[in-house]
């Protein structure tokens, strides 16, 4: 995460952050619009949850 982006009080996401993805050449090719951020290492728990509910896991 590079910085927190201020958004207008009416509409938009509550938390807007700017991230730097060094391995992504074109950010417009990055899948999805609403990424979820967690502080800490929760890969194992989230992977098990996704597998249980049939959700495709994408580790970035």
Confidence (pLDDT) at 48: 94
Is residue 1 within 8 A of residue 19, CB to CB? The reply is yes
Residue 48: domain span: 3-53
Confidence (pLDDT) at 27: 64
Confidence of residue 19 (pLDDT cuts 50, 70, 90): confident
Domain-embedded: residue 58: no
Domain-embedded: residue 11: yes
pTM of the model: 0.44
Residues contacting residue 27 through CB under 8 Å, at least 6 positions apart? 21
Confidence (pLDDT) at 21: 72
**Residues forming a β-bridge with 16:** 5
Domain-embedded: residue 40: yes
Domain-embedded: residue 24: yes
Domain-embedded: residue 15: yes
Domain-embedded: residue 59: no
Number of domains in the chain: 1
């Amino acid at each position: 995460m590079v910085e927190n982006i201020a958004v207008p009080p009416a509409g938009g996401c509550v938390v807007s952050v700017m991230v730097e993805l060094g391995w992504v050449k074109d950010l417009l090719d990055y899948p999805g619009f609403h990424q979820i951020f967690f502080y800490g290492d929760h890969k194992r728990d989230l992977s098990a949850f996704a597998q249980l509910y049939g959700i495709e896991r994408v580790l970035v």
